[in-house]
Amino acid sequence: MQADYIIVGAGSAGCAIAYRLAEAGKKVIVVEFGGTDAGPFIQMPGALSYPMNMKRYDWGFESEPEPHLGGRRLATPRGKVLGGSSSINGMVYVRGHARDFDTWEEMGAQGWAYADVLPYYKRLETWHENGHGGDADWRGKSGPLHVSRGKRDNPLTRAFVEAGVQAGYEATDDYNGEKQEGFGPFEATIHKGERWSAYKAYLKPAIATGNVEVVRGFARKVVIENGRATGLEIERKGKVEVIGATREVILAASSINSPKLLLLSGVGPAAHLKEHGIEVVADRPGVGQNLQDHLELYIQQAATQPVSLFKYWNLFGKAYVGAQWLFTRKGPGASNQFESCAFVRSKPGVEYPDIQYHFLPIAVRYDGKAAAEGHGFQAHVGPMRSKSRGAVSLKSADPKDAPSIFFNYMSHEDDWSDFRTCIRLTREIFGQEAFAPYRGHEIQPGDSVQSDEELDAFIREHAESAYHPCGSCRMGAATDPMAVVDPECRVIGVEGLRVADSSIFPQITNGNLNAPSIMTGEKAADHILGKQPLPRDNAQPWIHPDWRSAQR
């Protein structure tokens, strides 16, 4: 078996690369361990808490005990299914702030500034504003990925935006356009009431061209001969075999599995490889380092009126929502329920937002357990640019063993003050007039939790991952000893091998990572094909004119 290109991982970036290579007439094999995305739990947006907790669809990773979070192990879901994590995520669509990408370029990712990536965001999306306004000039009209907005017919969803404005923050009608900062409508990869994953958007049409074959198998390592990647060793149906790549092998296996595969293939810190008896092909100390994520808290408030989604939180209610969705693709099941959001700055002197809000018109946990209190609402809130860094490393040389994932969450002192700020700002927003008709008592953290020490104890016990791991195969200048790939996604020190997924992000972006991961795949495809990158787009983002002196 062989092809021009082997792509490891049918996730957000891998599907996009497969589509663009197929479009150019190349023969591609995509290796994916997971199976089909068929089934209502993945397709129905309202069922999002199920797939990420199902062994069938999720790799089931967890972090090492995190010392600053009381030794808790945090779940680290990664998609093990066609579409990868885009088939099990919350479907939230956030490009990231313009300044995130300018920072990437400053960190050595030449050619990845906002002016460089904006054309790829436009190329990848078909944007549906659904009557909510927005920045049409900044958006894509004919890309494979459908992006839409929820109906926002729940009064709590609208109250959140009104409360933000009452508290003195900006409103924005398109945080993916010119102005990220402010309160406004959320966007999602939902189309006609169904999840629109990278598989549906990219891989399915790519397979239809006849140029792409999907092989279900477990990737063991990249075969590297005389410093060049020539194929991929996989296990399928109990047998180990090698698939040949006449041009390149492209790892798009996630920020957890891509560094793991590099290490198993002999690319990484020499001492770590020797420790596990792996022959060193390229000594790249940065492989597995620079691991980042977003943490968040769920700030929950009881509702005094039965306006939340809690009314569906019983057997009959869920059956009703499920049936309505199955037959009409409408109703609560057709939304991920994240329909309002905000991006704000934590203090004066912060140039662009460093706090994100997901607002939800029900008090519930990500694993689907509702607050015992009944009707309520909540905001997921967390800092965007934590200074904490962790690492992915091998536990053994056996490819079957899960890697060691250590985020080192909350290891920087600024993380604690940032999170306390998040809680206090949220309480202020929930205290505004817009919420007065609905506001009951605070469920979590609870009105009694006020001092820094009390808040820190709450954070230690309740901070959860937002499931945005990235950074573990950092992109940078070819001369940077800690960089793993150069700005064309080529692994430094090995010919014919690239990494293109969220692992190459030098620094985590503002917001959810599916959109930047797909953009990475789109841009990487042009580098792989040796094409001239799309012309730069110098549209200037809105930056708060008083950011130096004002928090809002």
Quick one: average pLDDT of 14-20? 98
Q: Where are the alpha helices (DSSP H) in 431-542?
A: 452-462, 514-528
Residue 280 within a domain: yes
Residue 537 within a domain: no
The predicted pLDDT at position 365 comes to 77
Residue 547 within a domain: no
pLDDT band at 132; cut points 50, 70, 90: confident
Residue 425 within a domain: yes
Q: Consult the annotation and say whether 214 binds a ligand.
A: no
Torsion of CA 249, 255, 261, 262, to 10 degrees: 80
Q: Consult the annotation and say whether 91 binds a ligand.
A: yes
pLDDT tens for each residue of 140-178:
999 999 999 999 999 999 999 999 999 999 999 999 999
For residue 366, is pLDDT > 70?
no
Q: Consult the annotation and say whether 90 binds a ligand.
A: yes
Neighbours of 195 (CB within 10 A): 26
For residue 401, is pLDDT > 80?
yes
Q: Consult the annotation and say whether 519 binds a ligand.
A: no
Under 8 Å between Cβ of 456 and 496: no
Residue 541 within a domain: no
For residue 370, is pLDDT > 80?
no
Residue 548 within a domain: no
Q: Consult the annotation and say whether 344 binds a ligand.
A: no
Q: What percent of the chain has pLDDT over 70?
A: 99
pLDDT band at 484; cut points 50, 70, 90: very high
Range name among 71-85, 131-145, 185-199, 253-267 with the lowest pLDDT average = 131-145
Under 8 Å between Cβ of 353 and 329: no
Under 8 Å between Cβ of 133 and 174: yes
For residue 208, is pLDDT > 90?
yes
Which residue has tokens 């309002």? 340
- pLDDT averaged over every residue in the chain: 97
Give catalytic residues, as residue numbers.
Answer: 468
The predicted pLDDT at position 348 comes to 98
pLDDT tens for each residue of 446-462:
999 999 999 999 999 99
Residues 501 and 508: their CA atoms lie apart, in Å, by 12
pLDDT band at 400; cut points 50, 70, 90: very high
Residue 290 lies in domain: 2-529
Q: Report the CATH number at residue 172.
A: 3.50.50.60
For residue 373, is pLDDT > 90?
no
What contacts 275, CB < 8 A, 6 or more positions away?
Answer: none
pLDDT tens for each residue of 189-206:
999 999 999 999 999 999
pLDDT band at 377; cut points 50, 70, 90: very high
Q: What percent of the chain has pLDDT over 90?
A: 96
Residues 18 and 23: their CA atoms lie apart, in Å, by 8
Residues 512 and 465: their CA atoms lie apart, in Å, by 12
pLDDT tens for each residue of 268-326:
999 999 999 999 999 999 999 999 999 999 999 999 999 999 999 999 999 999 999 99
The predicted pLDDT at position 273 comes to 98
For residue 364, is pLDDT > 90?
no
Residue 283 within a domain: yes
Q: Both tokens of residue 113?
A: 């500034």
Domain count of the chain? 1
Residue 9 within a domain: yes
For residue 183, is pLDDT > 90?
yes
The predicted pLDDT at position 360 comes to 96
Residues 221 and 228: their CA atoms lie apart, in Å, by 13
For residue 30, is pLDDT > 80?
yes
Q: Which has the higher per-residue pLDDT, 85 or 40?
A: 85
Q: 28-32 and 212-216: which strand pairing?
A: parallel
Which residue has tokens 């792996």? 278
Q: What are phi and psi of 121, to 5 degrees?
A: -60, -40
